[in-house]
């Protein structure tokens, strides 16, 4: 493990529970298609997966928004489904349609997956990207590693693609709970190994993206969103004392309440389906909150962008807060609107 990062970094101060007059800011998908420099680098790579697995180019696109905007954090450029590929699933990206995978729908498919210890061979370029970034990022910029949470990754592995309601995964957990639970267990173990290796390579914070947590209700939310997150965080903190973890159970709604206490997360990222005022009253009471500007403002801009940004900053001003979007920035966003957002946060 590398030395623990400097507590002077604004992101780390927020994650330790400090309220700051100007909240630190970064954006989900801040390295992405809305930036012309990203599009040029992706063209050089040839395809998306080649970009993810070429450390020099992955580091370059991670650094591009830091150079342009001076965000307080850089997030490793990768994809949540690389871990599925490392476990032996076939993975490809269909132009204009998103990811496609070979499916896991029964015990035979599960048996064909690789053991957890085999993932590092495939994922070693990702760790090299982290090492490059640790050496090239500005001293004040926090490096964030990440992984998809087990439930979300499982939904793709079961359906072979993204789905609007995660129906295939829900169907499998009901029809064949043994196969489903075994897949979740495999993903919990693999995620611990993957994030631990990112931390060893230099990540100062890690984030768990549970993009489809909102489709889990009641006991299923507790079993497949809360418990895997708790176990992953506990294992990481046992191996890497002091490592901060951000959890993002997107569209959890009332499930955001108490999520930090239940999982040990240092920060809960919230989407824009809940208001900042509600989250300040119900979620921030337990510690740092990250969020939650509607990404559509990055497209439309104008006075509404500035006003909503300032409103969110005010709503969370009584406790620790990391400013972010409620989900990832979209390809059609105007890069100038990102600067308008930053200026509104920092008082420019």
In angstroms, rounded to a whole number, what is the distance separating the alpha carbons of residues 262 and 243? 17
Is 296 a known active-site residue? Answer: no
In angstroms, rounded to a whole number, what is the distance separating the alpha carbons of residues 273 and 259? 16
In angstroms, rounded to a whole number, what is the distance separating the alpha carbons of residues 92 and 51? 13
In angstroms, rounded to a whole number, what is the distance separating the alpha carbons of residues 27 and 183? 31
- What is the C-alpha R_g of the chain? 19
DSSP secondary-structure letter at 296? T
Is 33 a known active-site residue? Answer: yes
Could you check whether the bond before residue 292 is cis, i.e. omega within 30 degrees of 0?
yes
Q: Which of 19, 39, 42, 223 is catalytic?
A: 42
Only one residue has tokens 């420099």, namely 37
Q: Which of 13, 29, 231, 340 is catalytic?
A: 29
DSSP secondary-structure letter at 144? E
Strands 267-269 and 321-325: unpaired
Q: Which of 34, 53, 72, 79 is catalytic?
A: 79
Task: Give the chain's domains with CATH numbers.
Answer: 10-346 (3.20.20.210)
Helix (H), strand (E) at residue 208? strand 205-210
Cα angle, residue 333 at apex, residues 329 and 339 outer, rounded to 5°: 85
Answer for the pair 244, 260: CB distance below 8 angstroms, yes or no: no
In angstroms, rounded to a whole number, what is the distance separating the alpha carbons of residues 312 and 323? 8
Q: Which of 34, 53, 69, 156 is catalytic?
A: 156
Selection from 345, 337, 338, 278 nearest residue 309 by Cα: 345
Q: Which of 19, 33, 100, 311 is catalytic?
A: 33
> End-to-end alpha-carbon separation of the chain, Å?
38
Is 173 a known active-site residue? Answer: no
Sign of CA dihedral 2, 6, 11, 13: positive
Q: Which residues on adjacent β-strands are paired with residue 292?
A: 324
Answer for the pair 210, 247: CB distance below 8 angstroms, yes or no: yes
In angstroms, rounded to a whole number, what is the distance separating the alpha carbons of residues 155 and 104? 10
Secondary structure of residue 252 in the 3-state scheme:
coil
> pLDDT tens track of the chain, all 348 residues?
344 444 689 999 999 999 999 999 999 999 999 999 999 999 999 999 999 999 999 999 999 999 999 999 999 999 999 999 999 999 999 877 899 999 999 999 999 999 999 999 999 999 999 999 999 999 999 999 999 999 999 999 999 999 999 999 999 999 999 999 999 999 999 999 999 999 999 999 999 999 999 999 999 999 999 999 999 999 999 999 999 999 999 999 999 999 999 999 999 999 999 999 999 999 999 999 999 999 999 999 999 999 999 999 999 999 999 999 999 999 999 999 999 999 999 996
Please report the pLDDT score of residue 97 as a whole number. 83
pTM across the whole model: 0.96
DSSP secondary-structure letter at 3? P
């Amino acid at each position: 493990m590398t030395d623990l990062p400097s507590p002077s970094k604004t992101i780390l101060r927020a994650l330790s529970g400090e309220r700051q007059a100007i909240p630190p800011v970064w954006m989900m998908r801040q390295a992405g298609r809305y930036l012309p420099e990203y599009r040029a680098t992706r063209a050089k790579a040839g395809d998306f997966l080649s970009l993810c697995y070429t450390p020099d180019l992955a580091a370059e696109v991670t650094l591009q928004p830091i150079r342009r905007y001076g965000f307080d954090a850089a997030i490793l450029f990768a994809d949540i489904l690389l871990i599925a590929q490392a476990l032996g699933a076939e993975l490809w990206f269909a132009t204009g349609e998103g990811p496609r995978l070979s499916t896991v729908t029964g015990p035979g498919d599960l048996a064909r997956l690789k053991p957890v210890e085999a993932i590092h061979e495939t994922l070693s370029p990702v760790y090299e990207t982290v090492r490059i970034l640790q050496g090239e990022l500005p001293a004040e910029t926090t490096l964030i590693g990440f992984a998809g949470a087990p439930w979300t990754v499982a939904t793709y592995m079961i359906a072979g693609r993204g789905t609007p309601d995660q129906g295939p995964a829900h169907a499998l957990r009901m029809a064949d709970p043994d196969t489903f639970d075994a897949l979740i267990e495999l993903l919990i173990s693999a995620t611990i190994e993957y994030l631990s290796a990112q931390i060893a390579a230099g990540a100062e914070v890690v984030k768990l993206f549970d993009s489809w947590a909102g489709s889990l209700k009641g006991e299923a939310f507790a079993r497949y969103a809360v418990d895997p997150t708790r176990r992953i965080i506990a294992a990481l903190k046992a191996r890497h004392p002091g490592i901060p973890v951000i959890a993002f159970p997107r569209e959890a709604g009332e499930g955001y309440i108490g999520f930090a206490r239940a999982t040990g997360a240092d920060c809960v990222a919230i989407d824009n389906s809940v208001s900042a005022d509600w989250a300040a009253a119900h979620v921030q009471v337990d510690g740092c909150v990250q969020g939650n500007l509607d990404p559509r403002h990055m497209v439309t801009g104008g006075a509404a962008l500035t006003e909503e940004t300032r409103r969110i900053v005010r709503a969370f001003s009584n406790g620790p807060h990391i400013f972010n979007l409620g989900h990832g920035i979209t390809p059609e966003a105007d890069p100038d609107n990102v600067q308008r957002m930053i200026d509104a946060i920092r008082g420019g």
